[in-house]
């Protein structure tokens, strides 16, 4: 379901797909094992309970001045963000979440297998929700290549996590609309949530490209030393 008001869109009940065999393989769970039975049980719970959501706002870049970017009167400071938005007019600040329904689902916290599998399920559902939002923005705005940046993602110094506050203020009442709360520690609750600014780009961009971290299970793109050095 999509709710629209002025320049804000709220997506609720985002559809998602869980391929049990593929997920089990990615988690190295043997077919017919006790772990697979537990995973099947949790997948059914997630399918009945999950309500992934997203909110995004259509905004315009006021100006780019050095490392500073001003969007609809809200100022951000990031060399990479200013580099990426230098020739961009329209942007889409957003928050996506797997939902409080899954975050608050009663699990036995002493059952470490269930906790691990549930966490993996929530990551998968969040990823599905993110792709749904990407398609939604792209289709409605005739954008061929939509990318995004997130505060604190990849190398934290690229775009400081502290600017989550400015990002949330730009979007609006995120907690009321989709149930995501930004704590004083800058942690988002539910924890399986993503925030950022999406924009059209001729080139692909992912936070992993400027992250020096090695042996990361979540890496989705190789490190780009040339791009990283351009920010020094």
Q: Provide the token pair at 95.
A: 């928050």
- H helices, E strands: number in the chain: 8, 11
d(CA 213, CA 161): 17
d(CA 152, CA 85): 17
Could you tell me the pLDDT band of residue 80, with boundaries at 50, 70 and 90?
Answer: confident
Residue, of 157 and 74, whose pLDDT is higher: 74
pLDDT of the residue at 79: 83
Please calculate the CA angle 199-204-210 and round it to the nearest 5 degrees. 95
How many Cβ atoms sit within 10 Å of the Cβ of residue 62?
Answer: 13
Q: How confident is the model over 209-224, as a mean pLDDT?
A: 67
Q: What is the mean pLDDT of the chain?
A: 88
pLDDT of the residue at 218: 61
Q: How confident is the model over 64-90, as a mean pLDDT?
A: 90
Query: Tens of pLDDT along 100-124?
Result: 999 999 988 888 999 999 999 999 9
Query: Tens of pLDDT along 150-193?
Result: 888 766 667 889 999 999 999 999 999 999 999 999 999 999 99
Instruction: Report domain extents, the chain.
Output: 2-205
pLDDT of the residue at 159: 84
- pTM: predicted TM-score of the whole model, two decimal places: 0.88
**Three-class HEC string of 121-146:** HHHHHHHHHHHHHHHHHHHHHCCCCE
Q: How confident is the model over 48-66, as a mean pLDDT?
A: 95
**H helical segments located in the chain:** 20-26, 34-49, 79-85, 100-103, 112-141, 164-171, 174-178, 225-229
Strand partners for 4: 9
| Residue 109: DSSP 8-state | T
Select the CATH number that applies to the domain covering 2-205 from these four: 3.40.50.970, 3.40.109.40, 3.40.50.1970, 3.30.540.10. Answer: 3.40.109.40
Instruction: With H, G, I as helix, E, B as strand and everything else as coil, classify residue 46.
Output: helix
d(CA 143, CA 134): 10
């Amino acid at each position: 379901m999509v709710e629209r008001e002025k320049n804000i869109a709220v997506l609720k009940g985002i559809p998602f797909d869980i391929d049990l065999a593929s997920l089990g393989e990615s988690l190295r769970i043997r077919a017919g094992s006790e772990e697979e039975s537990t995973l099947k049980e949790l997948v059914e719970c997630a399918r009945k309970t999950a309500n992934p959501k997203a909110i995004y706002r259509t905004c315009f870049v006021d100006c780019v001045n050095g490392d500073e970017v001003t969007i609809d009167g809200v100022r951000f400071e990031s060399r990479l963000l200013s580099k990426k938005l230098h020739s961009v007019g329209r942007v889409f600040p957003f928050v996506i979440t797997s939902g409080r329904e899954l975050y608050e689902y009663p699990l036995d916290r002493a059952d470490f297998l269930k906790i691990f599998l549930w966490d993996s399920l929530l990551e998968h559902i969040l990823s599905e929700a993110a792709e749904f939002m990407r398609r939604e923005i792209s289709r409605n705005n005739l954008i061929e290549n939509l990318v995004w940046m997130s505060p604190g993602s990849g190398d934290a110094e690229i775009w400081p996590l502290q600017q989550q506050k400015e990002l949330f203020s730009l979007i609006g009442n995120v907690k009321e609309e989709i149930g995501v709360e930004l704590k004083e520690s800058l942690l988002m609750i539910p924890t399986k949530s993503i925030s950022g600014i999406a924009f059209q780009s001729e080139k692909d961009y992912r936070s992993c490209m400027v992250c020096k971290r090695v042996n990361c299970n979540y890496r989705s793109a190789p490190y780009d030393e040339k791009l990283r050095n351009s920010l020094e």
